Structure 1
Amino acid sequence: MEPNKIVEEIVNRNDNYVKKHNEHYFVHHIAFKHPVITLVSCSDSRVQPNVLIENPIDNMFEIENIGNQISTCDWTFQRIYC
């Protein structure tokens, strides 16, 4: 697929997503963040959070990297839990 077609597809999918949800839906997610879990997973494109949780928005915080590794020195980890 050509790069401009990929971008066009992403924009179209985003537009469709916005059309399916009212303004309150987005305002709620901007104002509050209450993820239930933090998922540490591989940045592999075959790993998709929707498999675990139907709607991961505001339910899951994701940390993706090579090899599912996390360290307490990791700035992402510290920002969440420290």
Structure 2
Amino acid sequence: MIKALPFLEFAPPVREPTPLRQAITRACRRPESECMPSLMEAATLPPPMREAIAGTARMLVERLRDEPERSGVAALVQEFGLSNQEGVALMC
């Protein structure tokens, strides 16, 4: 007699999905417009941390711009200021 599922005895038992796995399954293929608000909220930094990061970024950019010989990164920083989206995107 041929078994319908001959390899079933070798397969590990299927466990109940964890809450995290259930959340991932529910979120699969959700529209971006539904996902982004909660992700943006979760990615928001407290003001003191944002200010510290901005200060560090400013200092790094100023030092790169002051170098006499510009490397590839320094040339990009010189070309695109942090006052526009392109410059900010390059720093990210």
Fold similarity call, TM over 0.5:
no
> Shorter-normalised TM-score: what interval?
under 0.3
Higher strand share: 1
- Normalised to the residue count of structure 2, the TM-score between the two structures is 0.22
Greater fraction helix: 2
